[in-house]
A = this chain, B = another copy of it.
Amino acid sequence: MHPAYTIGLDYGTNSVRALVVDVRSGEEIGTCVFEYPSGERGLLLDRSNPDLTRQNPRDYLDGLQASVKGALAMAGSRDGFDPAHVIGIGVDTTGSTPIPVDELGRPLAFQPRFRDDLNAYVWLWRDHTGHAEAAQITETARRLRPQYLAKCGGTYSAEWYWSKILHCLNVAPDVFDAAHTWVEHADWIPAVLTGTERPTALRRSVCAAGHKAMFSREWGGYPDAEFLAALDPRLVPLRDALPDRTYNVADTAGGLTEEWATRLGLRAGTPVAIGAFDAHLGAVGAGIGRGTLVKIIGTSTCDLMVSPLDADIADVPGLCGIVPESVLPGQFGMEAGQSAVGDIFNWFVEVVKPAGKGHRELTAEAERLRPGESGLLVLDWHNGNRTVLVDQRLTGLIVGLTLHTTPAEIYRALVEATAFGARVIMERYEEYADRVTRVVNCGGISASNRMVMQIYADVMGRPVEISRSPQTCALGAAIAGAVAAGSEDGGYADFGSAMEAMTGVQDVVFKPDPERRKTYDRLYALYRQMHDAFGVKGAGGDMYRVMKALLEIRDAARR
């Protein structure tokens, strides 16, 4: 049998990575990262509106070609590698990252008349401009369709599909009117590669639709017209253009077009898997299974679990979603997340710049501190709270400062806060779904910062393992490519066998220390108290209104 390779394409917040993987061994033999050239590291921002973050779809296409060519070139230095042996392609992206497109599926941003209108560009996941609309959707669903909310944690987020579309309708009706439909980034790339962008041909993923757009077979697909009309009647035609069915990552979007085959140097017709969100395919790349909590730790985190479709899973308040087959066929995919983790550490190092110290130096100093020794406690809400509060209008808090508080103490407290946030998510999973027996962390911080991993183990009280691949998301996409190829063409018949062959964890396991855990239990109780006081309406002596009021005053001052 000839060697076989697949390509995983991983679209992140600032760049896209292509990864060439050996289908037999999971060995990663070629990779290339393309940094988005537009705006600030790929982000199109608006100084007067800190909630706004858009992207340029041109960056995605430029990056597609450049990263694949680069990864193939690197793989080409291996003896015996031949691009003709690439048997499948998988794609993951951030999300919910919807793109307004015309009737041919082309981004409105490519039209000259919208060149200067950021509303016609890609609405990146972390864009929070639709927070008022999110509240309206939550409120309307609570009244008319409580079942819609139950599957997405009880609150519809500003980061999600309908909040963004409704906000566009409110602030840029011309863009809204020009959009034939809105396509998730994760659906758009496979469609481009297979020539199926036209909305009538486009296959949408259950991952994006189920987690972010209130899609469920339980109520016949997308939210019904009556509900959308209650939000705004102009949404109804948009609903009519949406399909009734969606696909999971075991399905294919189609075969590679001649045009893209030529551009990339691959065979035309190469199967391209249905896309999914980065975290979901990251969980696949980390070898997710029942009882394993996979944490994809980057600028933010996604925390994923799976459970058999026949398991009796209750609706889980605060979770980003429970969606059949959103991670793996035949399993519920459950998604939670922290709105900022690496972003918080980076903010401290790159924006506050304490004593000019970098991550390494601060980590070395912070590692010498004992739990609780600093007297500090942080709420890790610098970018809001995704799980379990689902509220972007929250902010970071530090308490316990003295005249002696050092940068290393603050750094450690920031890390600990994200660990407390992780524990909140784990406990929510355990309360409503499944016991967590092990935690597998992925992403750069997991591999590079042992202190962070040990703190997570001590705070969460579970053994913490690290995914073997440093590129778990891209690896997961490559696995999807191997399943799309199928066993007859050198790939795999199902995800179970593909994951067994292609994934693994590192040898080191971080075990909880009982003494440190005892102190962290005390600190965690205080974290929970503050968390609920500032994050839950009606609790904690009206502390809840403080962060909201500060943001209102801020927004008024910036107008």
Residues of A that sit less than 8 Å from B by CB = 50, 340, 343-344, 347, 351-356, 370-377, 382-383, 395-407, 410, 519, 522-523, 526, 529-530, 533-534, 539-543, 546-547, 549-551, 553-554, 556-558
Contact = CB atoms under 8 A, between A and B. Distances in A.
Contacts of A556: 372, 519
A351 B406 contact: yes
Contacts of A371: 557
Given A382-B403, A382-B405, A399-B546, 7 more contacts: A50-B402, A353-B354, A353-B355, A372-B554, A375-B551, A382-B402, A530-B543
Main secondary structure of the interface of A (DSSP, over half): mixed
Nearest to A401: B396
Given A353-B355, A354-B352, A340 B403 contact: yes
A401 B258 CA distance: 50
Given A396-B401, A401-B398, A543 B553 contact: no
A397 B396 contact: no
B533 A549 contact: no
A373 B558 contact: yes
Contacts of A557: 370-373, 519
Contacts of A374: 554
17 contacts: A50-B402, A343-B403, A347-B405, A352-B355, A371-B557, A372-B554, A395-B400, A395-B401, A396-B398, A396-B401, A399-B534, A399-B547, A529-B542, A529-B546, A540-B541, A541-B541, A541-B543
A483 B396 CA distance: 55
Contacts of A519: 553, 556-557
A374 B351 CA distance: 14
Nearest to A378: B401
Contacts of A403: 340, 343-344, 347, 351, 382-383
A459 to B, nearest CB: 14
Q: Which 9 A-B pairs have the closest CB atoms?
A: A541-B541, A396-B401, A375-B554, A540-B541, A353-B355, A372-B557, A372-B553, A373-B557, A397-B399
A211 B352 CA distance: 41
A72 B396 CA distance: 54
Contacts of A353: 354-356, 407
B407 A377 contact: no
Which of A355, A374, A401, A526 has the most C-beta atoms of chain B within 10 angstroms of its own C-beta? A401
A400 to B, nearest CB: 5
Nearest to A380: B401
Contacts of A347: 403-405
A545 to B, nearest CB: 8
A522 B401 contact: no
A449 B522 CA distance: 42
A375 B551 CA distance: 6
A396 B407 contact: no
Contacts of A399: 395-397, 534, 546-547, 550
Contacts of A554: 372-375, 400
Contacts of A406: 351
Contact of A526 (B373, B533, B546): B546
A346 to B, nearest CB: 8
A357 B401 CA distance: 20
A52 to B, nearest CB: 12
Contacts of A343: 403
A472 B301 CA distance: 55
Nearest to A50: B404
A93 B526 CA distance: 41
A382 B401 contact: yes
